[in-house]
Amino acid sequence: MNYFSSNFKLGILGGGQLGKMLLYTTRKFDVYTSVLDPSAEAPCKIACNEFHQGDLMDFETVYNFGKNVDVLTFEIEHVNVDALQKLEDEGVHVYPSAKTLQTIQNKGIQKLFYQKHHIPTAPFSIYMSLEELLHSVENDVISIPFVWKSTQFGYDGTGVKIVRSLADLERLPNVECMCEELVEFKNELAVIVSRNVSGEVKTYPVVEMEFHPEANQVEYVICPARIPENIQAKAKKVALQVSEALQHTGILAVELFQTQNDEILVNEVAPRPHNSGHYSIEASYTDQFEQHIRAILNLPLGNTASKVAGIMVNLVGAEGHTGEVVYENIEKIMQLEGVTPHIYGKKQTRPFRKMGHVTIVNEDVAEARKVAATVKQTINVISK
């Protein structure tokens, strides 16, 4: 099929920053794009050929949108899977597939999938409600501390809580949930695996993630991870095991724990470009967004190696600030060597909302990490 400067149409469900960054590639290749998002001010709006406003969880909206494209992909997991399945049944190419998304969308189903396929993951229990979970705690079936996760609709630290007391438990919402054993880990790692329609597979280097202690959000992504080569190899092997079991098409981000005794456990996965791969825009030969487009259009996959070390700093809304966004000191960080800001185009900020990111590249990962700390201390995302 001729994708370039033709009447081929690529549909993207979700018009946020990930979609906007996918559009860097579609504009480069002159691939015609149509985007669906609930917000009239979605970041994608300025860069796609067609923009449609609508509810991604509404069957008819997603189905009617998907009928008018040749290939359909998504940049967010919260979309109507039944509509995707019907579109697939009617001949629309949906990548990743409805089946892949259905497995991943619910964290309980995702964990059961790992168990079924002998993929290492932390021990867990699933509960239909908070009452059921409380009953298990009161009867010593499970013991505090543990990690509580809502099985659905969690993102960026929402829907995840470390429970250290009964009081923590009582403040949680009454939804289907699971609790996981609290893993004592040395590092949180991630591996991005790309797979095209024909089954060609490539992995990106292992990255290391440093988290904000309160928001449960990634503050820094460091590539390459500062871990021994044998641990890197083990992490890639587990990520490939997940990719093989899912048989996904596109980008799959596999988040991992490196335990104190150097086991590798899968935390969770995302079937789309991911925060842990943003560094690749500046640091890699082929960034994750171009790779996702190559994969879903069944083009040859690009080189996933890094040209230089890369560190990504998330720009999130400052605490105590809600309203029209102002970015303070961008000019100051741009004076630093190897620094590139990415502003997502969201007009309204609120505490911990992802508003952009900054990439720092350097031959030396230690030097890049120092600059990243300066960037973090200098830039502020506040409201007017």
Query: Has residue 215 got a pLDDT over 80?
Result: no
- Residues within the annotated binding site for ATP? 107, 149, 180-183, 188, 267-268
For 257-275, how does the pLDDT look when each residue is reduced to its tens digit (9 = 90+)? 999 999 999 999 999 999 9
Whether residues 133 and 80 fall in one domain: no
| pLDDT reported for residue 218 | 82
| pLDDT reported for residue 155 | 63
Calculate mean pLDDT across residues 250-263: 97
Whether residues 257 and 142 fall in one domain: no
- 4 assigned to some structural domain: no
User: CB 378: neighbour CB atoms within 10 A?
Assistant: 16
Q: What whole-number distance in Å separates Cα of residue 21 and Cα of residue 289?
A: 7
pLDDT band at 1 (very low <50, low <70, confident <90, very high): confident
Residue 193 parent element (H or E): strand 185-195
| pLDDT reported for residue 156 | 59
| pLDDT reported for residue 76 | 96
For 153-180, how does the pLDDT look when each residue is reduced to its tens digit (9 = 90+)? 776 567 889 999 988 988 899 999 999 9
Whether residues 304 and 220 fall in one domain: yes
Q: What whole-number distance in Å separates Cα of residue 261 and Cα of residue 251?
A: 29
Query: Has residue 212 got a pLDDT over 80?
Result: no
Whether residues 175 and 34 fall in one domain: no
The DSSP call for residue 227 is S
Calculate mean pLDDT across residues 202-212: 93
Whether residues 272 and 224 fall in one domain: yes
Query: Has residue 31 got a pLDDT over 80?
Result: yes
Q: 236 or 157: which carries more pLDDT confidence?
A: 236
- The closest of 207, 220, 218, 197 to 300, measured between CA atoms, is 197
Q: What whole-number distance in Å separates Cα of residue 307 and Cα of residue 315?
A: 24
- Per the structure, the complete domain to which residue 172 belongs is given by 123-180
Average pLDDT of every residue of the chain: 95
Query: Has residue 127 got a pLDDT over 90?
Result: yes
- Residues within the annotated binding site? 107, 149, 180-183, 188, 267-268
- 101 assigned to some structural domain: no
Calculate mean pLDDT across residues 350-362: 96
| pLDDT reported for residue 219 | 87
Query: Has residue 213 got a pLDDT over 80?
Result: no
Q: In the block, which residue shows the tokens 């289907």?
A: 176
Work out how many domains the chain is built from and give that number.
Answer: 3
Q: How far is CA 269 from CA 112, 143, 191, in A?
A: 13, 26, 10
Query: Has residue 21 got a pLDDT over 80?
Result: yes
What are the phi and psi torsion angles at 93 (to 5°)? -80, 115
Q: What whole-number distance in Å separates Cα of residue 56 and Cα of residue 82?
A: 12
Q: What is the CATH number of the domain that holds 192?
A: 3.30.470.20
Whether residues 201 and 327 fall in one domain: yes
Q: What whole-number distance in Å separates Cα of residue 140 and Cα of residue 151?
A: 22
- 103 assigned to some structural domain: no
Calculate mean pLDDT across residues 70-81: 97
pLDDT band at 329 (very low <50, low <70, confident <90, very high): very high
Whether residues 62 and 80 fall in one domain: yes
Q: What is the CATH number of the domain that holds 75?
A: 3.40.50.20
Q: What whole-number distance in Å separates Cα of residue 204 and Cα of residue 191?
A: 6
The DSSP call for residue 156 is T
- 38 assigned to some structural domain: yes
Query: Has residue 294 got a pLDDT over 90?
Result: yes
